Chains A and B, each alone.
Chain A
């Protein structure tokens, strides 16, 4: 069983839809990261959070430490949001990030 699991693996949406991507983890963490990876491109850090909720534009990330679960929401989705969204966790007291396998999102006009 992977230490970081994401769902769904693939997601398609119509422009304007509300999107939710989920991440569950099974290890003790100090922080959780949401990352965005465009095809052929590098990775961009969207959020780093250790509790509660963060918002940036149309993106919202939440984390529930007790339940070891985080969600990434995209409101009013747009085709340019199409990318792979990766959840990664920082293990406590180490330098390691453990990554999920990503959720491939395609938003159609």
Chain B
């Protein structure tokens, strides 16, 4: 597709369940970001990949959060033992260039809305 694709669009999980959220960036995009957006708030940075390398994971809120991008394209954000406070929209964004080198325009997916009951 032409844009950043995220799946599933909605996810309802029981507390304690593991979830996996997928992001398909635009083909050829080097940089990939994950953000968490709580209701009524602006997005907050979670982690950044440059190709397959996870260069920054300082925004991951706990060790229950894990992200990977093994082949430098599709990325998965995994949340283990979900808690109610994990309920949020998880946004993925990609950019053509390495982020630190240039400030390229970001392209966002529609997000995955996670609700933990």
Contact = CB atoms under 8 A, between A and B. Distances in A.
A31 B91 contact: no
Give the interface size class of chain A: 20 to 34
Contact of B108 (A31, A42, A101): A42
A48 B42 CA distance: 17
A-side interface mostly: strand
Interface in A77-95: 86, 88, 90, 93-95
A50 B103 contact: yes
B91 A95 contact: no
B103 A48 contact: yes
Contacts of B40: 101
Contacts of B93: 43
B55 A95 contact: yes
Interface of A: 4, 30-31, 33, 35, 41-45, 48, 50, 86, 88, 90, 93-102
